[in-house]
A and B are shown apart, each in its own frame.
Chain A
Amino acid sequence: MGENVENLPEIRQFKEWFEKRHEYAKKWKEKTGGKVVGYYCTYVPEEILYAAGILPVRILGSHEPESITRPYLHDMYCPFCHDTLAQGLQGRYNYLDGVTIAQSCLHMRQSYFSFADRVENIEWSYYLPFPHGVNNPYAADYAKHEFEKFKAAVEEWTGTTISDKDLEEAIQVYNKNRELMMKVFEFRKAEDPKITGLHAMYMVVSSQVVDKAEHNEVLESLVEKLPETESDREVGTRFMLIGSEDYDEELFKLIEYGMNYPATFVFEENCTGSRYFWGTVEDADDKLMALAKRYVYRVPCPAKDWARGDFFGRRRFQFIEKVIREWNVEAVIIAQMKFCDPHELDIPSLRDMLDKMGVPHLHLELDLTQPVGQFRTRVEALIESMGEEDLYI
């Protein structure tokens, strides 16, 4: 009998980092004397910050009701951008020295600027105009140009010089993190996927808020142990999660641990899941170009995934299709942050694609807090509908 995955210290460590992310960053700062920079979108080339000795941490919300952002952000802006700004206004990010964003959706852009201007401890902010047209051949060249300016701004602020060697080392640390997390995701192809979506969420989101080198040590240990572990829970329906950033424990706990039917997420296609780490930086002499290519050619956010010329598809959809087949996905939950335009713009076509593939799917709209009871009913109904033939046997 292998060890129960729920008891693995590595999983517990990820959970602790996730839950105590602010404490971690404060301690890191005390220990190293370094600067901490919050980032608003996963298109930020964290390696450049890391190479300068900075700890990049993703700015996340708390899923608590709030009303303090209403004077600055319109109600129709997504709950994530409200929630993240609220954290800043409430002083929960009082350890940040700087904040940055790589150009993404409008909601986060507004939230970023309000955060940069209104959170008192922010001494440095940088808006990085990352290309939207990641499907055009000139995007990487342009992204490199913007990365050069970003690097220069970081150097000026910190008074350091980021050498190619520094960048190379940072890339190695980040690549290792990506490779290890991809390995963990590979285990989820198996009949017994080893970890749940909740575990995966703890793993990925904790990687966004702690020092990657430290995260790598725990990941390595997890990768070693996973083949020998087992779970005492039934796998049930194999779900794929597609959509907006989703780090709400409630949702994972409900679907994987709290329903009348067993179910397990075997893959998360979102920026708190695979979209964050899928794809490494290739080895090349021109480090910034290599970085630019990784970020431009990664699995795109829907904000950046659209047709160009003779290419009519969406790169993200191609990735989703591949995952569904290789991970033996039985059903999809599309979890979309309320008011998230980029996702809303893709969902009708995504549903069409899933219909054509014969993959059952359910669209849930995420808010600051989740209507758990309603979600339970809907997800259970989906599972029941998938097994309806059994009713007549």
Chain B
Amino acid sequence: MTEVKVRPFECWDDFKKYRMEYYKNYLEAKEKGGIRWAGSAWAFDPVPAGLGEDVYPLTGEPYGATCAFFRDFSYRALEAIERKGVARDLCGYMRNYWGSIVLDKYLLADGTEVEPFPKPDFNFTIHICCTHAKWYHYAAELEGGVPTYAVDISVGPGYLLDDKKIEYVVRQLEDAIQWMEKVTGREYDDELLIKAVENEAKSMTLWAKICKLNQATPAPMEEKSMFSFYVLTLLKRSDEKVVKLYEKLYKEVESRVKRGIGALTYEQFRFVTDNPPPWPFLKVYRYLEQTYGAVSVGSIYTFGLGGAWKCMDEKGEKWVWEPAPTPEEVGYEIHDRRSALWWTAMFNLKYRASWQHEYSHRIRKLETYQMIKDWKVDAIIMHLNRGCELWNMSTLEVRDYLVKQGVPVATYEGNMADPREFDEARTFNVIDSFMQSLGVEKLA
């Protein structure tokens, strides 16, 4: 077995620092006279950016994942919201978020608990699955009334996109701007919007380019580290600082590939995953790495959640894992509010990979299979995730399809954000049995 050179990421601390400051900035926004808004990580984050340079978001899914990672806090948050009569099978991220409001405690990235939970000036989200708009609707009720606006984006997959569908979303965004001016009392700055839209495109395509570098053998990144990188596309991708961080990461990963620096000292098995991981039990990844030299090179989740990809071809027959074009690359000039909103609507609807397979397992089968081929992996380990009905949609149909294509598939059941719904010993047993069945030996 060939030994691979391994190095810590030079920009690791920069990413950690950004995330730490992100939660702190939201907390302290009012002290600086700034604006707080909360919403899904999929919300059109360039749009509130036009309200000023002191506008700080709190995106719910990463916040819910952070809560789940700190299990003790998560137990309390989940139980607090269940006492309000909320069902246990609802979105795990959302229940942690709601529970945090009910506890009136806010969690910083390092697990520090702060009181009270900082109330946003407004909620701004999208709605694509059954949850997002209703998440913030109820959060607003729990917080005693927060103005809330949700943009309906459920117009179908990108390869079937047409002008009318884009227009439907753009008109809602135009209204949203007027609404934001009304609820904040601020005048909207289109120049800030234009810059934010450009940054969003850069962040999302840069992340896609970084993921593509992981096709190399040895893989320069393992997925557990990628979780700390990809999340910036979900925190504030329209922030220029995020663009700079991704530019830095791209250069570093590119250099690692050139120099043959890998993620693991011994890479004897490559696999991909599909769903959000069980955040309180990321040790699953370390177990695979340390016991079997098995590296997860990514997932449709990590790549697709905030990455911009070409996605389905025009005929809807093939998935293309190539980074999406930026406005500059296609010669699209963003010069005013309308052109900015049109671009951000089109770009997300067409190129945000994770929005495509919402609509059909037919898309997700092709997406997953193409990833398995392009990233040259030996298998897929699928998380039957009880914490997200959206990401769990199609998983069994995809499993069936991949098995028929001859791809080894293992599944384990869990919950991305509810530590009570994960059987650690059973999961490790599944992994051991799977590896044994494939003849993958444990590292000496």
Which residue numbers of A lie inside 8 Å of B, CB to CB? 70-74, 76-77, 103, 105-107, 109-110, 113-114, 117, 127, 129, 131-133, 136-139, 141-142, 145, 302-303, 306-310, 312, 314, 339, 341-342, 344-349, 351
Asked if A142 and B165 sit within 8 Å, CB to CB, the answer is yes
Asked if A142 and B130 sit within 8 Å, CB to CB, the answer is no
Give the nearest-CB partner of B123 in chain A.
A307
Residues of B within 8 A of A348 (CB): 84-86, 138
Q: Does B393 lie at the interface of the complex (its beta carbon under 8 Å from any beta carbon of A)? A: yes
Report the bound CA distance from A310 to B138 in whole Å.
15
Report the bound CA distance from A344 to B134 in whole Å.
10
**Cβ < 8 Å to A, chain B residues 391-434:** 392-397, 400
Asked if B389 and A77 sit within 8 Å, CB to CB, the answer is yes
Asked if B389 and A133 sit within 8 Å, CB to CB, the answer is no
Asked if B155 and A110 sit within 8 Å, CB to CB, the answer is no
Known: A72-B397, A110-B393, A348-B86. A129 touches B156 (CB 8 A): yes
Asked if A133 and B397 sit within 8 Å, CB to CB, the answer is no
Report the bound CA distance from A382 to B138 in whole Å.
27
Asked if B386 and A76 sit within 8 Å, CB to CB, the answer is yes
Residues of A within 8 A of B135 (CB): 345
Residues of B within 8 A of A345 (CB): 90, 130-131, 134-135, 138
For the complex of A and B, the 9 pairs showing the least CB-CB separation, nearest first, are A133-B152, A129-B156, A306-B133, A344-B87, A345-B134, A142-B168, A341-B130, A145-B164, A132-B154
CB distance from B367 to the nearest CB of A (A): 14
Residue in A145, A308, A309, A351 whose CB lies within 8 Å of B85: A351
Report the bound CA distance from A307 to B123 in whole Å.
11
Residue in B129, B150, B171, B361 whose CB lies within 8 Å of A308: B150
Report the bound CA distance from A113 to B398 in whole Å.
12
Asked if A341 and B127 sit within 8 Å, CB to CB, the answer is no
Report the bound CA distance from A309 to B149 in whole Å.
5
Residue in A107, A139, A145 whose CB lies within 8 Å of B389: A107
Report the bound CA distance from A137 to B87 in whole Å.
32
Asked if A310 and B168 sit within 8 Å, CB to CB, the answer is no
Tally of chain B residues near chain A (CB < 8 A): 54
Can you offer 18 A-B residue contacts whose CB atoms are under 8 A? A74-B392, A76-B89, A103-B154, A110-B393, A117-B397, A129-B155, A129-B156, A131-B152, A132-B152, A133-B127, A133-B172, A141-B168, A307-B133, A308-B149, A309-B149, A309-B175, A344-B90, A345-B138
CB distance from A211 to the nearest CB of B (A): 31
Report the bound CA distance from A349 to B135 in whole Å.
12
Give the nearest-CB partner of A110 in chain B.
B393
Report the bound CA distance from A49 to B261 in whole Å.
60
Residue in A72, A136, A303, A310 whose CB lies within 8 Å of B130: A303
17 A-B pairs besides A71-B400, A310-B179 with CB distance below 8 A are A74-B395, A106-B129, A106-B389, A113-B394, A113-B397, A117-B362, A129-B155, A133-B150, A136-B152, A142-B155, A307-B133, A307-B137, A307-B140, A308-B149, A342-B130, A342-B134, A345-B131
Give the nearest-CB partner of A129 in chain B.
B156
Residues of B within 8 A of A133 (CB): 127, 133, 150-152, 154, 172
Report the bound CA distance from A307 to B168 in whole Å.
18
Report the bound CA distance from A349 to B87 in whole Å.
13
**Cβ < 8 Å to A, chain B residues 85-118:** 85-87, 89-91
Residues of B within 8 A of A137 (CB): 175
Give the interface centre of A103, A105, A109, A351 by most chain B CB atoms within 10 Å. A109
Residue in B148, B150, B154, B361 whose CB lies within 8 Å of A113: B361
**Cβ < 8 Å to A, chain B residues 39-91:** 84-87, 89-91
Residue in A70, A110, A306 whose CB lies within 8 Å of B394: A110
Give the interface centre of B151, B168, B175 by most chain A CB atoms within 10 Å. B168
Report the bound CA distance from A72 to B394 in whole Å.
8
Known: A74-B384, A110-B361, A136-B172. A306 touches B393 (CB 8 A): no
Residues of A within 8 A of B136 (CB): 307
CB distance from B118 to the nearest CB of A (A): 21
Residues of A within 8 A of B148 (CB): 307-309, 312
Residues of A within 8 A of B168 (CB): 131, 138, 141-142, 145
Q: Does B260 lie at the interface of the complex (its beta carbon under 8 Å from any beta carbon of A)? A: no
Residues of A within 8 A of B182 (CB): 310
Known: A76-B386, A133-B172, A141-B168. A344 touches B147 (CB 8 A): no
Residues of B within 8 A of A76 (CB): 89, 386, 389, 392
Residues of B within 8 A of A306 (CB): 127, 133-134, 137, 150
CB distance from B106 to the nearest CB of A (A): 22
Residues of A within 8 A of B151 (CB): 133
Asked if A347 and B85 sit within 8 Å, CB to CB, the answer is yes
Report the bound CA distance from A348 to B135 in whole Å.
12
Q: Does B231 lie at the interface of the complex (its beta carbon under 8 Å from any beta carbon of A)? A: no
Report the bound CA distance from A131 to B129 in whole Å.
12
Give the nearest-CB partner of A363 in chain B.
B85
Report the bound CA distance from A105 to B129 in whole Å.
7
Residues of A within 8 A of B360 (CB): 109, 113, 127
Residues of A within 8 A of B130 (CB): 105-106, 303, 341-342, 345
| Binary flags per residue of B296-333, CB closer than 8 Å to A gives 1, else 0 | 00000000000000000000000000000000000000
Residues of B within 8 A of A72 (CB): 396-397, 400
Give the interface centre of A103, A132, A145, A303 by most chain B CB atoms within 10 Å. A132
Asked if A129 and B154 sit within 8 Å, CB to CB, the answer is yes
Give the nearest-CB partner of A336 in chain B.
B87
Report the bound CA distance from A349 to B141 in whole Å.
8
Asked if B389 and A307 sit within 8 Å, CB to CB, the answer is no
Q: Does B269 lie at the interface of the complex (its beta carbon under 8 Å from any beta carbon of A)? A: no
Give the nearest-CB partner of B182 in chain A.
A310
Give the interface centre of B172, B395, B400 by most chain A CB atoms within 10 Å. B172
Report the bound CA distance from A69 to B245 in whole Å.
46
Known: A306-B150, A339-B89. A73 touches B396 (CB 8 A): yes
Report the bound CA distance from A306 to B126 in whole Å.
11
Report the bound CA distance from A133 to B127 in whole Å.
8
Known: A132-B152, A341-B130, A347-B85. A109 touches B393 (CB 8 A): yes
Known: A345-B138, A348-B84. A138 touches B127 (CB 8 A): no
Asked if B147 and A341 sit within 8 Å, CB to CB, the answer is no
Report the bound CA distance from A71 to B384 in whole Å.
12
Known: A133-B172, A341-B90. A312 touches B145 (CB 8 A): yes
Give the nearest-CB partner of B152 in chain A.
A133
Report the bound CA distance from A147 to B77 in whole Å.
44
Residues of A within 8 A of B188 (CB): none
Report the bound CA distance from A278 to B391 in whole Å.
34
Give the nearest-CB partner of B127 in chain A.
A132
Q: Does B15 lie at the interface of the complex (its beta carbon under 8 Å from any beta carbon of A)? A: no
Known: A73-B396, A113-B361. A131 touches B154 (CB 8 A): yes
Q: Does B390 lie at the interface of the complex (its beta carbon under 8 Å from any beta carbon of A)? A: yes
Residues of A within 8 A of B250 (CB): none
Asked if A142 and B147 sit within 8 Å, CB to CB, the answer is no
CB distance from B136 to the nearest CB of A (A): 8
**Cβ < 8 Å to A, chain B residues 157-216:** 164-165, 168, 171-172, 175-176, 179, 182
Report the bound CA distance from A67 to B233 in whole Å.
41
Q: Does B18 lie at the interface of the complex (its beta carbon under 8 Å from any beta carbon of A)? A: no
Report the bound CA distance from A100 to B395 in whole Å.
22
